[in-house]
Amino acid sequence: MPELKTSTAPAASSGFSIGSWQVHVANLFGTRHGALGASILLVLLLVAITAPLIAPYSPLEQTQASLAPPSSQFLFGTDNIGRDVFSLVVHGSRSSLMVGLGAALAALLIGGTLGILAGYFQGPVEAGLMRLVELFQTLPVIILVLCAVALFGSNFWLLIAAVALAIWPMEARLVYGQYIKLRDREFIAAARVADLSTAHIMFREILPNAIQPIIVQVALDASIAILIEAGLGFLGLSDPSKVSWGRLLFVAQDYMDSAWWMSLFPGAAICITVVGLNLFADGLNEVIDPRSTSGVGGLQ
């Protein structure tokens, strides 16, 4: 089909080079979801970095007014011991984002490494690692994290490690799947024939081709990590020395009848963050796989 083939070849179908980064970012902002998600994340990042400048009060400062409703003085009201909820929410972004990013990256490191190993070395290594993944996926994520916290306590860094421990199997599955898909392709075979080293094939030939869906998964992992951290906080099991949105909801649970603002604003902050990450991942997916949106949908 000469006509169809020449005119429809996608502009950037394969490969991933530094030069195409700008193209991808431009495309990401070209999709409605991607632009919105990326903007939300940028704003959140900015808030987290400049938290002390934005927050009118220190998160530990107890004002005279406890359980005061939202007003011009206290934008989001105050909590049971008179702390400014707005300042708390602003400062809470730090631990949420840190857990999200930290756990997702740690999961990528663990899952990615094991996935690569399983995908590259076939045979018993592959089988063993996949069994391990299955084992970890049998227990619900939240229960896994709770167990870890129950046994080892809720220090902030331990918490990140626990969340990472719970979500790495998803990452491992994805990386493994990508490797399986790519390892038999021609260009990998060509690299083998050219007698390139194993490490070179892994990191220079396979990784660049597998990276896009992995970035999407990292964004989704981060959203799951943030939800888990919020959940732990809500159960009162997060690090008590850190302000976190989940922990604010834990306190709010006892004041639902008198101070709705203590629940509404931290909860909304969690939602916005998670929506931002999901939109970002959606946009990224669209850029990677433009088919998903260009066609006409539905049942005719």
Q: How far apart are the first and last CA of the chain?
A: 26
* Least distance in angstroms from the C-beta of 37 to other proteins: 10
When binding is defined by CB under 8 A, the residue of 116, 163, 230, 251 that contacts other proteins is 230
* Least distance in angstroms from the C-beta of 205 to other proteins: 28
* Least distance in angstroms from the C-beta of 72 to other proteins: 24
* Least distance in angstroms from the C-beta of 112 to other proteins: 23
By CB under 8 A, residue 124 contacts other proteins = no
Q: How far is CA 181 from CA 127, 149, 176, 200, 249, in A?
A: 17, 37, 9, 18, 44
By CB under 8 A, residue 275 contacts other proteins = yes
- Measured in whole angstroms, how far is the alpha carbon of residue 60 from the centre of its chain? 28
Query: Which residues, in sequence order, are bridge partners of residue 78?
Result: 84
* Least distance in angstroms from the C-beta of 192 to other proteins: 33
By CB under 8 A, residue 161 contacts other proteins = no
By CB under 8 A, residue 35 contacts other proteins = no
When binding is defined by CB under 8 A, the residue of 14, 22, 64, 300 that contacts other proteins is 300
Count Cβ atoms below 10 Å from residue 280 Cβ, excluding itself.
Answer: 26
When binding is defined by CB under 8 A, the residue of 3, 184, 186, 195 that contacts other proteins is 3
Q: Which span sits near other proteins by CB under 8 A: 60-68, 88-96, 183-191, 268-276?
A: 268-276
By CB under 8 A, residue 256 contacts other proteins = yes
When binding is defined by CB under 8 A, the residue of 23, 25, 81, 135 that contacts other proteins is 135
By CB under 8 A, residue 295 contacts other proteins = yes
When binding is defined by CB under 8 A, the residue of 65, 75, 105, 142 that contacts other proteins is 142
- Indicate the residue among 123 and 298 with the shorter CB distance to other proteins: 298
By CB under 8 A, residue 127 contacts other proteins = no
Contact positions vs other proteins (CB under 8 A): 1-5, 7-8, 10, 134-135, 138-140, 142-143, 146-147, 149-152, 223, 227, 230-231, 234-237, 249, 252-253, 256-257, 260, 263-264, 267, 270-271, 274-275, 278-279, 282, 290, 294-300
